[in-house]
């Protein structure tokens, strides 16, 4: 019966993990590499599982208050007996005592099994290097940020996403005008011809993402898009070894509307672009119809870096597949006004001198 799955190297017994550089399971202790198929057998038992029958090991020595207890789960590491604490969604973790990579199989039982996964392609060092690059060339960043901020954690997370497919039909009704000007010796004429324009459009969307994790900021997850879905592979729990993962806690029904809004925006723009040859166009009516909707559950790789500076927390995210690095940086107000003053001075003086030159040489 699967409760907590540990990934141990068959050669040396060390904690084996998915290595993004070679795209295989690799043991950091003895350097042995294994194809993922070799570890498939652990997953085969998942199919038979039902999500309700997952058992948790709850330690008795730790006291939580009721609300905390509701969201928290305690796991016991089978290698060292250490207690791993996580929330109810935690699906993969490392034992903080012995470094063992564990996957909580129950999170993927039955209907909770992800349809797909994009394995990590960028390794941890690249994520840290990405941070340095992100700080380059930002003239209004406080100079000390680079030196003073401490990276509190760099974690590789498989973030649960809902990927939507839809065949979208879009209808638009517009009022458009064509304007013509001409004149003779006495008058200037303006002719306005008004048209009623309608368009029906159709387009297909594939894999529109919406993150399924409450604790992941949606705008942060939006910003690391897009992922390359050509590199999607069928899900195997082994990919999670060495990383942290959560199962979804936002259902596809809850994110459906956001996704529809995004598709609507694109469909509207595509259709509006076909109304050409007019001087002015006003939209009178529009409607959308989404058919053949499908939602896939996928785990997508994201490096999360949390740093602290000046008593403030900053969160950065890097797309674990493409390397796109995002995160808002603090503004150095003094520098801002200094540059403002400098440029005002330069341009003002320049303009004044230019006007003098023009005056004296005209």
Site for other proteins in 147-186 (CB under 8 A): 169, 175-176, 183, 185-186
Candidate list 201, 281, 288, 323; residue touching other proteins; CB under 8 A: 201
From residue 85 to residue 124, the character string flagging contacts with other proteins as x (rule: CB under 8 A) and all else as - is ----------------------------------------
Minimum gap (Å) between residue 30 Cβ and other proteins: 40
Minimum gap (Å) between residue 241 Cβ and other proteins: 30
Site for other proteins in 329-358 (CB under 8 A): 329-331, 336, 339-349, 351-352, 355-356
Residue 183 or 230 with smaller CB distance to other proteins: 183
Minimum gap (Å) between residue 211 Cβ and other proteins: 11
Angstrom distance (rounded) from CA 39 to CA 349: 71
Residues 211, 266 contacting (CB under 8 angstroms): no
Judged by CB under 8 A, how many residues of this single chain contact other proteins?
Answer: 76
Nearest to 132 by CA among 351, 296, 316, 300: 316
Residues 76, 98 contacting (CB under 8 angstroms): no
Residue partners of 31: CB distance under 8 A and separation at least 6: none
Residue 222 or 306 with smaller CB distance to other proteins: 222
Q: Assign residue 311 a region: left if phi > 0, alpha if psi is -120 to 50, beta otherwise? A: left
Cα 246 to Cα 88, 213, 282, distances in angstroms: 9, 8, 46
Residue 85 or 270 with smaller CB distance to other proteins: 270
- When asked if residue 287 is in the footprint of other proteins (CB under 8 A), the reply is no
Candidate list 147, 153, 219, 311; residue touching other proteins; CB under 8 A: 219
- When asked if residue 328 is in the footprint of other proteins (CB under 8 A), the reply is yes
Angstrom distance (rounded) from CA 230 to CA 76: 37
- When asked if residue 208 is in the footprint of other proteins (CB under 8 A), the reply is yes
Minimum gap (Å) between residue 252 Cβ and other proteins: 16
Candidate list 262, 293, 306, 322; residue touching other proteins; CB under 8 A: 262
Angstrom distance (rounded) from CA 135 to CA 144: 11
Q: How far is CA 171 from the centre of its chain?
A: 31
Minimum gap (Å) between residue 154 Cβ and other proteins: 18
Residues 227, 211 contacting (CB under 8 angstroms): no
Site for other proteins in 266-285 (CB under 8 A): 266, 269-271, 274
Candidate list 44, 196, 230, 313; residue touching other proteins; CB under 8 A: 196
CA dihedral 344, 350, 352, 354 (to 10 degrees): -150
DSSP 8-state symbol, 60? S
């Amino acid at each position: 019966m699967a409760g907590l799955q540990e990934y141990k190297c068959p050669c040396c017994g060390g904690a084996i993990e998915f290595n993004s550089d070679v795209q295989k399971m690799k043991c950091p202790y003895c350097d042995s590499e294994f194809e993922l198929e070799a570890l498939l057998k652990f997953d085969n038992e998942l199919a038979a599982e039902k999500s309700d029958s997952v058992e948790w090991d709850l330690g008795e020595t730790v006291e939580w208050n009721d609300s905390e207890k509701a969201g928290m789960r305690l796991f016991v590491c089978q290698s060292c007996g250490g207690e791993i604490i996580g929330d109810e969604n935690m699906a993969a973790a490392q034992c903080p005592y012995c470094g063992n990579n564990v996957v909580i199989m129950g999170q993927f039982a039955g209907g909770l099994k992800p349809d797909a996964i994009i394995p990590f392609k960028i390794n941890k060092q690249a994520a840290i290097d990405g941070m340095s690059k992100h700080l380059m060339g930002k003239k209004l960043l406080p100079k000390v940020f680079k030196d003073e901020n401490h990276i509190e954690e760099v974690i590789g997370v498989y973030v649960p996403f809902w990927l939507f497919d839809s065949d979208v039909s879009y209808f638009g009704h517009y009022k458009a005008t064509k304007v013509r000007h001409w004149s003779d010796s006495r008058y200037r004429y303006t002719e306005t011809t008004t048209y009623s324009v309608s368009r029906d459009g159709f387009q297909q969307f594939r894999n529109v993402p919406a993150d399924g994790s409450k604790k992941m900021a949606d705008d942060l997850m939006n910003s690391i898009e897009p992922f390359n879905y050509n590199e999607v592979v069928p899900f195997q729990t082994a990919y999670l070894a060495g990383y942290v993962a959560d199962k979804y806690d936002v259902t596809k029904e809850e994110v459906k509307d956001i996704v529809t809004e995004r598709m609507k925006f694109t469909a509207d723009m595509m259709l509006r672009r076909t109304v050409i040859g007019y001087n002015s166009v006003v939209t009178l009516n529009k409607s959308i119809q989404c058919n053949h909707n499908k939602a896939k559950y996928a785990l997508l790789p994201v490096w999360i870096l949390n740093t602290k500076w000046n008593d403030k927390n900053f969160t950065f995210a890097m797309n674990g597949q493409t390397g796109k690095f995002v995160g808002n940086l603090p503004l150095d107000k003094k520098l801002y006004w200094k540059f403002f003053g400098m440029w005002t001075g330069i341009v003002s003086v320049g303009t004044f001198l230019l006007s003098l030159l023009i005056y004296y040489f005209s």
